[in-house]
Each structure stands twice: as C-alpha cells, then as structure tokens.
Amino acid sequence: MGLIVKKFGGSSVATTEKIMAVAKRILAEKKDDDQIVMVVSAMGDTTDDLIQLAKQLTKDPYQYEREMDMLLTTGEQVSIALLTMAFNSLGHPAVSLTGMMAGMKTDSVHTKGRILDIKPRRIKEELDKGNIVVVAGFQGADEFGDPVTLGRGGSDTSAVAIAGALHADSCEIFTDVDGIYSADPRVEPDARRMKEITYDEMLEMARLGAGVMQPRSVEMGKHFNIPIHVRSTFTNTPGTMIREAYTMEEKDFVIRGVAHDSNVAKVAVLGVPNNPGIAHSIFSALADAHVSVDMIVQSIRNVEKNVTDMVFTLAHDDLSKAKPIVDAVADKLNAVAVLVEEDVAKVSIVGAGMLGNPGIASRMFGALANGGINIDVISTSEISISCLVKTTDLSKAVNVIHDEFFPKKA
Amino acid sequence: MGLIVKKFGGSSVATTEKIMAVAKRILAEKKDDDQIVMVVSAMGDTTDDLIQLAKQLTKDPYQYEREMDMLLTTGEQVSIALLTMAFNSLGHPAVSLTGMMAGMKTDSVHTKGRILDIKPRRIKEELDKGNIVVVAGFQGADEFGDPVTLGRGGSDTSAVAIAGALHADSCEIFTDVDGIYSADPRVEPDARRMKEITYDEMLEMARLGAGVMQPRSVEMGKHFNIPIHVRSTFTNTPGTMIREAYTMEEKDFVIRGVAHDSNVAKVAVLGVPNNPGIAHSIFSALADAHVSVDMIVQSIRNVEKNVTDMVFTLAHDDLSKAKPIVDAVADKLNAVAVLVEEDVAKVSIVGAGMLGNPGIASRMFGALANGGINIDVISTSEISISCLVKTTDLSKAVNVIHDEFFPKKA
C-alpha cells in the first residue's frame, strides 16, 4: 500500500519483450490500493541511434543543443507510449506523460538542464482516476515549452524529483545490479550487498568512483527526504535502501564501503616560489576551464629558497585540456618542471561511523602496507579517506582494504 | 518576397541526404526578405516502423488511440529536429516546433483529430527573429496538452491551416508529382498539367478519386482563401495553383479533368415495396455504421404491385461491413433479393465550365458509346458528371473521354 515511483533504465526496456516483462512484473507486485508512477528511459540504443542520425547531417550535432533535445526527447516518448500500451493490453489502465506533461519545469540549458520545479497536478489527476502513470524520464520543458534533457543520470533524477513532489512513500530505481555493494563486485568477489546506506555516504561513494547512482539523484533524494530503493530489474530480492539514517541495527561495520576510481591523473608543479596566491593562480586557471581538481598536496622543496612543490590529481579525462593550462601558469611562475603521472588510481573508504573511530585510518594504511602497496597521496573528508596508489596496485588495494574491514566469513 | 509555408512529405525527407537536399533547395530559392515556415512529415517509413513496434505488444494497437498518438508524433519530431540542424549547419538560423508548440489546437479524437484553432504566436516570434521555422505536420495538442494526430492527409492540412492562420502569401505542397493533371498520367498518357484549378473543382476531383490532394486540406485552403501551390520535390518547374478563381485566360477547356475511382461496389436491393421511408430505412442503417453511399438510383420494377428496385454504390472497402446491414434491412422489407456487383468502377468529368455548356453530358456519353463502353449508372453534381462502368472498361473510358475534351495536339 502506498504511492511508489519506479524507474526503469534503457536496458530494462530495450525491446518490446522486455517492456512487456516490466509491465507484467509491476502488475504482479502491485497491491490493489498501490498508486504507481513509472519513470522510464529511451529503449536501449535509441539515443545512440538518434545521435548517429544527427551526425550524418553535421559533424558536431551537439552544437545545436536545442535541436538535439528536440531529437532525443522522442526516445523516451516512444518507450512511455509502448509501456503504457503493455499495461493496457494486460488489463490495467495506464496513461503516458512526457516530461512536460508531467509538470517537469527546467531551466533552458539544453542537453544539461536542471529541474527548477515540478507541478505534478496531471500525475495526481491520472493516479486518482486509477491509472498507472508512465512518465518520460530524462526530460522536461523550459519556460518557453521547449523540450530540455537533463543530462547524465537524468532519468534517476527525474524519478527521485517526481517522488519528492508527490511526497511518495519511496522511489525504486531498477538497475542491472541488485543494490549497493561494499565494493565493486567485479573487483572484490566478497563484496556484500548493503541493506541500507545514508544519502551522505552514498554521495561520498559516488564522488569517489562508485558508479551505481549519479550524485544528482541522491542529492535530490536527500533534499526531499525520499527513500531510494536501488534494486534489480531481473530479480525480486530487496536491494539497498538509501535514506537519511539507519533504521536497522546494521552497525556491524564501521565503514560502508570501499570505492575506487581509475580515471585519475597526477600533476606535480615542481619548484614554484612559495608566495601567497600560488595555489590560487594554478587552480583558478583550471576552474575557469571547468576542470575539477581533487587531492591537493603542497610540500616544501627548499626552505632556504622558499620554494615549494604543488601536487594535485584530476580526472584523467581532463588531462589533455588541463596540461597546457598548467604549463602556461608554471611558465609564468618560473616553476622548475611540470610532471604528469598517468598510472595512478584512487582507493577510498567511506562511512559515517569513522567519525567516532580514530583507528580507522591507521587500519587502512596498515592493510595497504601489509599488502606491499605504496601510498602516494592521502586525502580525507569527514566520512572518507582516500589514498592514491599505482594503477597496477588498485585491485589488490581494494581487496586488502575490504578484507580488513569486511572480514571473510569462515 | 513574402511569407510562404512549404510542406514536404515523408518521402521527401526519408533519409538524412534527402533532408539536406531539401534544406539546400529552400535556401537556394529563398529571397533575403522571404519568411519561410516549413511543415514536414515523419521520415519515410518511420510511422510504419513505429506501428510495427506497437504490434509486437498488442495485435490491435489502434485500440489505444491516445498512446498511438503519443508514439507516432515522435516521427515528425525527429524530422523537424534534423531538418532544423541541416538549415543551421548550412548557415541559416532555424528553429523547430512541434504541433503543440506551433499553436495547433485540436479536438481529442485521437488518431483522427480535427484542428479547432491555431495560435501562431510562437511561429511569428521565431520568424521575426529571422528564423526559418520548421513545424511538425500531422499533429497538434488537445485542451489537456495531449498530442493528437490529424489522420490521413494531416500534414497537408497542417500546412494549409498554418498558412491561413499566418495570412501567408501562399502554401506550397511539395510532392512526388509536379502538379494536378487533367487525368491520372498512369492511365492517360496525354494527361496535361494544369496551371490553375479552383478549390471547388479540386474538391470534386478529390471526391471522385483523384489522389494528389486530400479534400480536407483543400477545404482548409478555401476557408482561409490561401492559394495552394502543388509542385514537385524533384524539379523547380511551377506546378498547379489551387485558388478561388482563375487569374489567367485558361478557358480553352470546358472541363478541368477526368477522375476515376476503382474502389467501388454496386448493391441492388430488388423488389421492395415503394412506400415512403424505404430509402431512409436502408441508408440510415448504413449511415449509423459510418458507411457512405455514393450514386443512388431508384427505379420502378412493377407499377401494379407498387414494387421498386433500389440501386446504390459505395466504397468497395466498406462492402464487407455494409452487406450484412443491407441484408438485414432487405429481410425486414421483404425484398426479393440483394445483389452485389464488385467489378464496377466510376469515371467522372469535373469542371465549373460545364454549368454554362449544356452539351457536355452528351459529349461524355457519346465518347463512351463510340468506345463501345456500356454505362450502368449516371450521377451528376453542379460541376461533375459520373458514370459507372465495368472495371475492365475503366482505363479505356478515361482515354476516350480525355480524347473528347482534351484533343491530342497534332
């Protein structure tokens, strides 16, 4: 019993067979007095196919952002129409709504829109008529009524935002994994599925490389205080509930998970004069180019000459954009050299429990040391500790840390 | 110089190459101060592909009319986005609008919507900004904001209605033929392209089987008094102008064309009592089933017994629906028999000029007689005469009548 928003991604609705399977599953699970809002993405490869079509006309179709949104929003419109037909053909009334019809108001930043407001009047009306309401994810409309897509992870964000606006009992994100794990199961065979995780921990996990949920949708859940249930499209087992605080006695582990990220590069600007404003001159130039810097270490190279080294990491994807910018600033600062290391990766532990447990960091460093893994840079936040290691050591680093905090059951 | 609405059908935008060719042609023809509104259909087979997808879910997807409209309106949305990108990539600003965004208000009769009103505010704004405005044909939205398609010939209707609402200088319908001909060129090799034809004549031609323009769009043109220019997608030659009255001295021919229709069946209800209300009882039963009856002849069979025969024609497509209805009524009326003839067809001549020319009908009948063609049923309107003939005689009937009124040049 309740009002539940359920989101299915593109791979879950990739074919008409899969669409029919989703409809059957939802009806099998649905209790008589449940109210259901479905949020769906475009079918499988539809978005890629549409982009290919546009590329036949122009090398860089994304320069016409408004028209890309006009083009790509058709993808979800097809899947909502088909899923709604599936529900109706199975005997349950249903109705489809585009993002605009569902009241999703966005700004006008085409292809990367942000939700400004949701007016779910139409959704409520259709629910009250007894319909399952099938809403197009990933899209809304701006003040002019032009279609706008929400960018990466947009369908999850749509679902959580709609759940928030409707004061839904929960928002279920159906995906190809069956929950949030204590580490990536492809790297750590003993990774455990968590029953619960807090918004803050999930955000930190996502920031540090865990790929299941995009941070935007978790932030939206935190904002509206909507529990987000991450669960499998393919099984009926419960997955992981993301919520404000734990409801269960799941305090066995002081950390919630081990995250890792191999999309990392390290840049060292060596031998710059240690004057006020040095850090600012480097990092503001990068910020202007929309390059985010992650771990930062400043260390004294030569006290007498008052010369310092500035070391930081950034996404490997940003390296080709960042390198000439850093070179130019280093040149102006009369730096000795700019060194780049590409074979680095980051391993992190996350958990709100570490606040009251001072020994956590040393256990992490000890596990790495016992594994013969060298730590290059360390950074910490309130609920996480990250270490930069060699890329070749990354899997082993995840394993030894996971063993330390989640000991194998005998 | 002027405000021109140009409509391109699905075959003209079937591939990205064709879309680019359309964009190039429009820009080559466009004068600097022209304002252009493009109305386009879905690319080639898109609509059929979408229907096939729906049929994978349910045998008869059209029972879910609202969802079919949600599904099918994506077709034009894809083509407007791509054509707009093509214009932009060629250096001319352009913007796409769905039917709803273009202000096309319809009733809620999904898959067969009718236009209630057009509020072209947004089109005007975008034109005033210097844009070519690319509008999705075939679609609008009802009072709830739900997408509604306009049914057969809907894109032509969209184009003419938009031209009317904008008080455009003309509406150009680009198609795979280069104008309106005095007969179907596939049947009559000497058929001539007409420079002009009136709305009324075109409507009569369409009603009597000429397939180029759907009657709805011609009616819309007549209503708004917008000249409709039917012309070829593939050549630059002028086509045929459909307008209220002739502007040129094109009075050489008393008739405008020879139309034919092979989608005809004849039904004869023999030996029914000749009482008031007999015709009503048959034709109201058919009307209730949405079957249109065309030529009607009532002839006395037996004066003493006051018994009559009722003969009429209808679309062959409607025969299987109509036959049991007629049988039931005939039974109730104690009719002698119901006979059906399927191998019949209709040949017609159309022309406002025949009003002042009493000899036209006898010239038509004479031509058929000289050709050895028997006439079964005759019917007339103010500007047309139609004869029912055997299907096997149809082509020859078109040829001999065309020769009579459009003599071959020596």
User: A146 and B101 in contact by Cβ < 8 A?
Assistant: yes
**Burial profile A95-105: b = 16 or more Cβ within 10 angstroms, e = fewer:** bbbbbbbbbbb
For chain B, give every residue range classified as CATH 3.30.2130.10.
258-404
Beta strands B132-136 and B94-97 are parallel
pLDDT for residue A410: 56
Cα distances from B63 to residues A91, B56, B147, B249, in angstroms, run: 13, 14, 16, 52
CA of B160 to nearest chain A CA: how many angstroms apart?
24
CB spacing of B57 vs A82 below 8 angstroms: yes
In B98-227, the DSSP E strands lie at 104-106, 115-118, 132-136, 139-141, 147-149, 170-175, 196-198
Neighbours of B223 (CB within 10 A): 12
Q: Is B16 on the interface with A (CB under 8 A)?
A: yes
Centroid of chain to Cα B300: 36
B350 phi and psi, to 5 degrees?
Answer: -130, 140
Report the alpha-carbon distance of residue B63 to residue B69 in Å, rounded. Answer: 11
Contacts of B96 in chain A (CB under 8 A): 67, 70
Q: Would the annotation count A149 as a binding residue? A: no
* Chain B residues with beta carbon closer than 8 angstroms to that of A61: 85
B81 SS3 class: helix
Q: Residue B133: what pLDDT?
A: 98
Residues of A in contact with B140 (CB under 8 A): none
What's the confidence (pLDDT) of residue A209?
86
- Annotated ligand binding at A126? The verdict is no
- Per CB-CB distance under 8 Å, the chain A contacts of B50 are 78
Query: Of A96, A16, A26, A95, which Cα lies nearest the Cα of B55?
Result: A16
B59 Cβ contact partners less than 8 Å away, ≥ 6 residues apart: none
pLDDT band at A359 (very low <50, low <70, confident <90, very high): confident
Q: Kind of pairing, strands B147-149 and B139-141?
A: antiparallel
Nearest residue in B to A84, CA atom: B67
**Nearest residue to A371 (alpha-carbon basis) of A343, A345, A402:** A402
Q: Which residue of A has its CA nearest to B136?
A: A70
Q: Tokens in use for A278?
A: 């040095």
Which pLDDT belongs to residue B306?
Answer: 84
Tokens (6 digits) for B7: 């409509």
- The ipTM assigned to this model is 0.84
Task: Check the annotation: does A365 bind a ligand.
Answer: no
Token pair for B142: 């009802």
**Which chain B residues are Cβ-neighbours of A104 within 8 angstroms?**
none
- Positive or negative, the CA dihedral B301, B303, B306, B310 is positive
Nearest residue, CB atoms, A56 vs list B16, B71, B100: B16
Q: Residue A69 and residue A147: Cα distance in Å, rounded?
A: 6
- Confidence tier at A252 by pLDDT (50, 70, 90): low
Where, residue-wise, is CATH 3.30.2130.10 in chain A?
258-405
- Give B165's Cβ-side CA count (13 Å radius): 21
Q: Which residue has the tokens 């079937």?
A: B14
A287-301, A373-387, B360-374: which has the minimum mean pLDDT?
A287-301
Provide the 10 A C-beta neighbour count for residue A400: 21
List residues bridging with A118 in a β-sheet.
A104
A·B CB contacts under 8 A: 106
pLDDT in tens, chain B (410 residues): 699 999 999 999 999 999 999 999 999 999 999 999 999 999 998 999 999 999 999 999 999 999 999 999 999 999 999 999 999 999 999 999 999 999 999 999 999 999 999 999 999 999 999 999 999 999 999 999 999 999 878 999 999 999 999 999 999 999 988 999 999 999 999 999 999 999 999 999 998 988 788 889 999 999 999 999 999 988 888 999 999 988 765 556 788 999 999 999 999 999 998 888 888 889 999 999 889 899 998 888 777 888 889 999 999 999 999 999 999 999 999 999 999 999 999 999 999 888 777 789 999 999 999 999 999 999 988 899 999 999 999 999 999 999 999 988 65
A337 and A287 Cβ atoms separated by less than 8 Å: no
Report CA dihedral (B104, B110, B116, B119) to the nearest 10 degrees: -10
Chain A within 8 Å of B146 (Cβ-Cβ)? yes
**What does residue A339 show for φ and ψ, rounded to 5 degrees?**
-110, 140
Is residue A109 exposed (0-12), middle (13-18) or buried (19+ Cβ within 10 Å)? middle
- Check whether domain A258-405 has CATH 3.30.2010.30, yes or no: no
Which residue intervals of chain B bear CATH 3.40.1160.10? 3-175
Q: Which residues pair with A231 in a beta bridge?
A: A174
- Give the closest-approach CA distance of B363 to chain A in angstroms: 56
What is the β-pairing status of strands B337-350 and B293-302?
unpaired
Given a cut of 70, whether residue A158 has pLDDT beyond it is: yes
Which residues, 6 or more positions from A140, have their beta carbon under 8 angstroms from its beta carbon?
Answer: A99, A100, A104, A105, A106, A113, A115, A147, A148, A150, A158
| A251 band by pLDDT with thresholds 50, 70 and 90 | low
SS3 labels along chain A: CCEEEEEECHHHHCCHHHHHHHHHHHHHHCCCCCEEEEEECCCCCHHHHHHHHHHCCCCCHHHCHHHHHHHHHHHHHHHHHHHHHHHHHCCCCEEEECCCCCCEEECCCCCCCCEEEECCHHHHHHHHCCCEEEEECCEEECCCCCEEECCCCHHHHHHHHHHHHCCCCEEEEEECCCCCECCCCCCCCCCCECCEEEHHHHHHHHHCCCCCCCHHHHHHHHHHCCCEEEEECCCCCCCEEEECCCCCCCCCCCCCEEEEEEEEEEEEEEEEECCCCHHHHHHHHHHHCCCCEEEEEEEEEECCCCEEEEEEEEEHHHHHHHHHHHHHHHHHCCCCEEEEEEEEEEEEEECHHHHHCCCHHHHHHHHHHHCCCCCCCEEEECCEEEEEEEHHHHHHHHHHHHHHHCCCCC
- Are the beta carbons of A82 and B57 closer than 8 angstroms? yes
A335-A339-A341 Cα angle (round to 5):
160
- CA gap B4, B12 in Å, rounded: 18
Report the predicted TM-score, pTM, of the whole model to 2 decimal places: 0.85
For residue A51, the chain B residue with the least C-alpha distance is: B82
A169 among annotated binding-site residues: no
Q: Is A144 known to sit in a ligand binding site?
A: no
Beta-sheet pairing, A94-97 with A132-136: parallel
A7 annotated as ligand-binding? yes
**Probe site for chain B from A52, A71, A77 (most B CB atoms < 10 A):** A71
End-to-end CA distance of chain B: 40
Q: How many residues does chain A have?
A: 410
**Minimal Cβ distance to A20: which of B57, B96, B146:** B57
Q: Between vectors from CA A257 to CA A253 and to CA A259, what angle results, nearest 5°?
A: 160
CA–CA gap between residue B342 and residue B219 (Å, rounded)? 31
Contact (Cβ atoms closer than 8 angstroms) between residue B78 and residue A46:
no
Residue of chain B minimizing CA distance to A21: B57
Please name the residues between 65 and 84 in chain A that touch chain B, using a CB distance below 8 Å: 66-68, 70-71, 73-74, 77-78, 80-82, 84
Confirm if B70 and A96 have CB atoms less than 8 A apart: yes
| Helix segments in B264-388, DSSP class H | 278-288, 319-332, 360-370
Q: Write down the residue that tokens 């386009």 correspond to.
A: B40
DSSP H or E segment with residue B19:
helix B16-29
Q: Does B85 touch chain A (CB under 8 A)?
A: yes
Tell me which residue has tokens 């081990």.
Answer: A258
pLDDT tens column, B225-269:
999 999 998 888 899 999 998 876 555 678 899 999 999 999 999
Q: Tell me which residue in B70, B85, B122 faces A57 most closely, judged by beta carbons.
A: B85
Smallest Cβ–Cβ distance between B67 and the set A54, A70, A81 belongs to A81
**Does B51 lie at the interface with A, CB-CB under 8 angstroms?**
no
Question: Whose structure tokens read 């062959």?
Answer: B316
* Domain B258-404: which CATH number of 3.30.70.270, 3.40.190.80, 3.30.2130.10, 1.10.238.10: 3.30.2130.10
Quote the pLDDT of residue A177.
Answer: 86
* CB contact (8 A) between residue B85 and residue A54: yes
* Token pair recorded at residue B12: 């003209």
Q: Does B190 touch chain A (CB under 8 A)?
A: no
Distances (CA, A) of B55 to A79, B45, B60, B62: 14, 15, 7, 9
Average pLDDT over residues A23-30: 95
The average confidence (pLDDT) of chain A is: 92
Chain A CB within 8 Å of residue B235 CB: no
Top-level class of domain B3-175: alpha beta
Tokens of B393: 């005689």
In contact, A264 and A315? CB cutoff 8 Å: yes
pLDDT score for A190: 93
* AA identity, residue B213: M
Q: Rounded to 5 degrees, what are φ and ψ at B403?
A: -60, -35
Q: Which residue of A has its CA nearest to B87?
A: A57
Q: Tell me the C-alpha distance between A166 and A158, whole Å.
A: 12
Q: Coil, helix or strand for B359?
A: coil
SS3 at position B401? helix
**Residue B72 and residue B50 in contact, taking contact as beta carbons nearer than 8 Å:** yes
SS3 B360: helix
Position A250 pLDDT exceeds 60 = no
